[in-house]
Amino acid sequence: MDNIRIIEVKRSIFDDNNKDADLLRAELKAKGVFLLNLMSSPGSGKTTTLIRTINMLKSDLGIAVMEADIDSDVDAKKILAATGVQSVQLHTGGMCHLDADMTRQGIAGLDLDGVDLVILENVGNLVCPAEFDTGAAKNCMILSVPEGDDKPLKYPLMFSVCDLVLINKMDVAPYFDFDLEKCKEYILRRNPNAEVIPVSAKTGEGMEKFAEWLKRQVKTQKEGE
């Protein structure tokens, strides 16, 4: 009885989600809808950044927003009141992330007629959201100055999966021990292909570059259909 058979039955828990994400991505592309997954830690300024960006873009693009939180509808109400674009609130039931199926349920709650851009504001967390493909065409994350310039070293996966990193709250950089160039170096060490844009959602610094990046992504997807 020395020869024991070992049967590997492990399968990545992400397999099914990745397949569903690819399917959702293809479906949205066929409808001419660009989905952006926006991630960050709590308090980085996601909602404030969204409000300013949407108000800059809504005359050029049809926009809808999905706000994900464990509870409350504060952010969805804030987006609707400040921008007038349709917004739905997604409750995760205690989960610290969204996956493709949860994103699909949120999409089903939107009227996509005339919508070019859907922005998913993911749950505030630098770990779980990075692990699950939501079906988005691009991933973007916000790192705020008060969090420190070493976050790319501490949360490698988040920075590895993002196409764009916004460094927010640049208006308070003089009051914090934050080295912008060092932060950029750390980000590019994790992800050489990432774009980095320093911004201030409060003052508007750099926000035009972010808005232009979004318009370019939407246009590129449409031209590739």
Residue 91's pLDDT is: 87
From 203, 225, 199, 202, select the one nearest 213 (Cα to Cα): 199
Strand partners, 68: 90
Residue 12's pLDDT is: 67
Residue 93's pLDDT is: 78
Cβ burial 11-42 (10 Å sphere, 16+ → b, else e): eeeeeebeebbeebbeebbeeebbbbbbbbbe
Residue 161's pLDDT is: 97
Residue 66's pLDDT is: 94
Range list of H helices, the chain: 15-30, 46-57, 74-83, 100-108, 128-131, 151-154, 156-160, 180-190, 207-223
Residues of the chain below pLDDT 70:
1-2, 5-12, 225
How far apart (Å, rounded) are the C-alpha atoms in residues 56 and 83? 10
Position 90: which residue type? Answer: L
Residue 206 CB coordination number (10 Å): 17
- Measured on CA atoms in the order 153, 66, 42, 133, is the torsion positive or negative? negative
Q: What is the pTM of this model?
A: 0.92
How far apart (Å, rounded) are the C-alpha atoms in residues 127 and 97? 9
How far apart (Å, rounded) are the C-alpha atoms in residues 182 and 149? 7
| Distances 155 to 15, 47, 185, 188 between C-alpha atoms, Å | 23, 22, 14, 13
From 8, 17, 62, 41, select the one nearest 214 (Cα to Cα): 62
Hey, what long-range contacts does 201-205 have (CB within 8 A, 24 or more apart)? 201/45, 201/48, 201/49, 201/51, 201/52, 201/168, 201/169, 202/45, 202/48, 202/169, 202/171, 203/171, 204/52, 205/170, 205/171
Tokens of 118: 């859907």
Opening angle at CA 62, ends 57 and 64, nearest 5: 95
Strand partners, 22: none
